[in-house]
Amino acid sequence: MKFPFRFSVAAVISAAVVTIAVWMAAGVPAYSQTRPLKVVATVSMLADAVRQIGGSRVEVASLLGEGVDPHTYRPTRSDIARLSGADIVIANGLHLEAQLGEALKSLGKTKPVWYAAEHIPQDRLISDPNYPGRFDPHVWMDPKLWTTVVESVRDALIVRDPAGRATYQAGAKAYIAQLAAIDDYTRRILAPVPAGSRVLVTAHDAFNYFGRAYGFEVEGVQGLSTESEAGLKRVEELVRLVVDRKVRAVFFESSVPDRNIRALVEGAAARGHKLAIGGELYSDALGTPGTYEGTLIGMLDHNGTTIARALGGDAPVRGMAGKLKHGG
């Protein structure tokens, strides 16, 4: 199934204008470029975007690091200090940082806080079936959708640091080109996956945007948030699904314990179906900082390559650019 993709540039510009007025009313001091702009991003995907857009003009820190689950993370006193010391805070929004909500809301009274994913038009978001009016926050799983977030972050940096406009525009343009390249690669390597094998089973529902973008049915043991516990009934449902559909493989996630996926494998084995572990996917956090997998492009390359190789696609062992550490 193909989905139309539309940008809402006017909405983002309008939001930026409103944001300027709000920040001025809150007494946010003007920023002058005597040092790099200090940016704290809540999650590593956003920190990577800021780094790609801003280059040496920004100093970026990610509040949540490798393997940390943003759904359940509670801020520490040192986290609040880091947030308070930033020139601007970039959050995903859409209830991803659920336990950080009150801290960010309080901080927003005196500090610029920008909810980047909330600038995506709602008709491009996937609803949360368990919470009416809420949306799936895992928007980085679709590179085209993430382009809207990149443009939103670019605009936030320009609002905070107008003198850096040219730098931020050039950085965003180059990064969007990289996102287009990884999207093209992922489509190409997944194209050979047979229709009957296009079922992606993971630890929690972090891959719905991936599924929509590339034509996969997605099943998570847990819901959109890892706060939702996986009951025995859900595990049994998925055991029946993987056996009946002869699913080849299921996948761990780097930021979620593997016990539920192992329970699926054991349950399938008890019914005479050999279910492989297809590998570990990155879901709510990037890989190790300083590595290729520690960038969003590397994360998406790893995920797409791993899924393709496990489910019958055609992917090179070391990914799009030959940089994957463990060959997907």
Residue 182 belongs to a domain: no
β-bridge mates for residue 204, sequence order? 222
| Residues 61 and 154 placed together within one structural domain of the fold | yes
Q: What is the pLDDT of residue 6?
A: 28
Residues 6+ apart with CB under 8 A from 299: 45, 282, 286, 287, 293
- Tell the residue number behind the tokens 């956003």, with chain if given: 46
Q: Identity (one letter) of the amino acid at 156?
A: A
| Residues 294 and 165 placed together within one structural domain of the fold | no
Q: What is the pLDDT of residue 25?
A: 54
Residue 4 belongs to a domain: no
Which residues of the chain, if any, have pLDDT below 70? 1-30, 32, 67, 223-231, 326-328
| Residues 143 and 234 placed together within one structural domain of the fold | no
| Residues 253 and 160 placed together within one structural domain of the fold | no
Contact between residue 238 and residue 210 where contact means Cβ atoms under 8 Å apart: no
Residue 153 belongs to a domain: yes
Q: Which two tokens stand for residue 153?
A: 């972050």
| Residues 159 and 289 placed together within one structural domain of the fold | no
- CA dist 303 and 292 (Å) reads 12
Q: Which of 81, 87, 80 is nearest to 29 (CA)?
A: 87
| Residues 145 and 210 placed together within one structural domain of the fold | no
Backbone angles phi, psi at 62, to 5 degrees: -100, 125
Residue 328 belongs to a domain: no
Q: For residue 306, what are the domain limits? A: 187-311
Residue 178 belongs to a domain: no
| Residues 252 and 280 placed together within one structural domain of the fold | yes
**Domain end point (choices 138, 172, 206):** 172
Q: What is the pLDDT of residue 18?
A: 52
| Residues 132 and 160 placed together within one structural domain of the fold | yes
Residue 317 belongs to a domain: no
- CA dist 231 and 222 (Å) reads 9
**Domain end point (choices 127, 148, 172):** 172
Domain containing residue 89: CATH number: 3.40.50.1980
**Domain end point (choices 172, 196, 212):** 172
Cα 67 → chain centroid: 13
| Residues 58 and 146 placed together within one structural domain of the fold | yes
| Residues 160 and 284 placed together within one structural domain of the fold | no
- CA dist 82 and 295 (Å) reads 22
Q: What is the pLDDT of residue 316?
A: 97
| Residues 161 and 192 placed together within one structural domain of the fold | no
Q: How many domains does the chain have?
A: 2
Contact between residue 92 and residue 206 where contact means Cβ atoms under 8 Å apart: no
| Residues 83 and 130 placed together within one structural domain of the fold | yes
Residue 248 belongs to a domain: yes
Q: What is the pLDDT of residue 68?
A: 72
> CB atoms < 10 A from the CB of 292, how many?
19
Residue 59 belongs to a domain: yes
Kindly write down the DSSP assignment for every residue of 203-254, as one continuous string: EES--HHHHHHHT-EEEEEE-SSTTSPPPHHHHHHHHHHHHHTT--EEEEET
